[in-house]
Each structure stands twice: as structure tokens, then as C-alpha cells.
Amino acid sequence: MKRFQRNNFAYLLGGLLSLLTLLPGLHLALGETVEIDVMRPLMLVAFSFFTMVSVWSLSRDEKIFRYGLAIAVLNVALAVAAVFFPTRLLELCAALSVIAFSCMSCYIAGRHVFSFRDTDANSLIGAVCVYLLLGLIWALVYAALAILWPEGAFQGLVFNAKILQFDSYLYFSFTTLTTAGYGDITPVNPLLRTIAYMEMIVGQFYMAILVSGLVAHFMGLRMSK
């Protein structure tokens, strides 16, 4: 276990980058109109791979690591069940399990980063992971709500039951988190609009608190010397 504790957030960053690049890469390789029967199992495998790799980022706290491992195993089980028995309920449960795992990982990384005890490479990697996790969590929330309200959720996304559009939710989530807001995809549902502007607020506060904390920590070190 100890060998995973050093630079533990590197595992989380690796899992995140794999997930965030794999899904768009699959669409490029297989085509934009690849059917959901092909894309669904690939996406579920990608989520399972993400949780099984990223769980090692929780290894510094044995109790939380066990919880994370249990959620990762649950996600794999739900993914296998959803492949063989594709239903909205199983897909929603799989999305909720990834949301729970991502929230736990975000909490652990954020607690380490904002303690400002060790401003080392692992802390910087953790800060990047928190930001990427925020975008992923909101994308999963958008996807889960789109499962419940498939039509009329977003303007700019044409609902098609045969095509999976999670990479579009990722794109919308990160453009909202960074407040880029290109406007090609906009939420129509009032609940989604509320969630979208909450993401903007969280993204801006995260960057402001992180930068101000790092500057204060750096100035404190200089004054102590």
C-alpha cells in the first residue's frame, strides 16, 4: 500500500486524462453517428477503468480507500449488468456510482491541496485533479438528468436514442466551468440552468481561492525565512 501513497494523485490524474480523452477519441475513430449499442459498453468500460485506476489516489487513508474500492467494484458490477441488460435504471445507477466516487476523490484531493502544508508536485497534481473532477462531476449530473428528461434538456443537442452524447456533456461542462460559454449548447430545463450557473460560481471561486492560498503560502514562507 505504501508504494501507492507517494505521488498518489498521479493515479487520479492518469485515470481522468484517460477518461476525458478516450470518449472523444472513440467518436473520432468510430464516427460521430456510432450507435449506442456499440458506444454504451465502451463508455462503461472507460468509467470502470477510471475508477479502478483512480482508487489508488485514496491510498493515504485506509478507511476512505476501502470505501472508494467498494464504490469502484460496484461500478464495475453495474457496468457489466448494464452491458447485458441495458436499462435506464442501470445506466443511472452506474452514473451515480461514478459521481459518488468522483466526489470522494475530489474531497480527498481538495483537502490535501487546501491544507497548503506541502506545496510539492503531488499538491499541484492534486489541484489539477480537483478542477478536472469538478468538470466531470457536473458532466455526469447533466448526463443523469438527460436520462430522466431526454427531450428538451439542452438546445444544440438533438435528442437521438441511438446515439450516446456524453462527450458533448463533457464539452458543455468544461466550457461552463471555465466560463468560456460558447453558446452552441445551452440548457433549456430550469433545473439544468440552475446547475449550470452553480458550476460557473464554483469554478471561479475554486481558482480564486487556490491562487490566493498559494500566494499567501508562498509569502508566508518568504517571511519566515
Residue appearing with cell numbers 441511438? 162
| Residue 24, CB-side half-sphere exposure with 13 Å CA sphere | 9
Count of structural domains, the chain: 1
**pLDDT tens track of the chain, all 225 residues?**
444 456 678 888 888 988 888 877 777 776 655 555 666 777 777 888 888 888 877 777 778 888 888 988 988 888 888 778 877 788 788 888 889 999 988 988 888 888 766 667 778 888 889 999 999 999 999 888 887 776 777 887 766 655 567 888 899 999 999 988 888 888 888 888 999 999 999 999 998 888 887 777 666 666 676
- The rounded distance, in Å, linking the Cα atoms of 20 and 170 is 8
Range of the domain at 213: 2-224
DSSP of 129-150, one letter per residue? HHHHHHHHHHHHHHHHHHHHS-
- The rounded distance, in Å, linking the Cα atoms of 19 and 173 is 15
pTM, rounded to two decimals: 0.86
Instruction: Give the helix/strand (H/E) hosting 187.
Output: strand 186-187
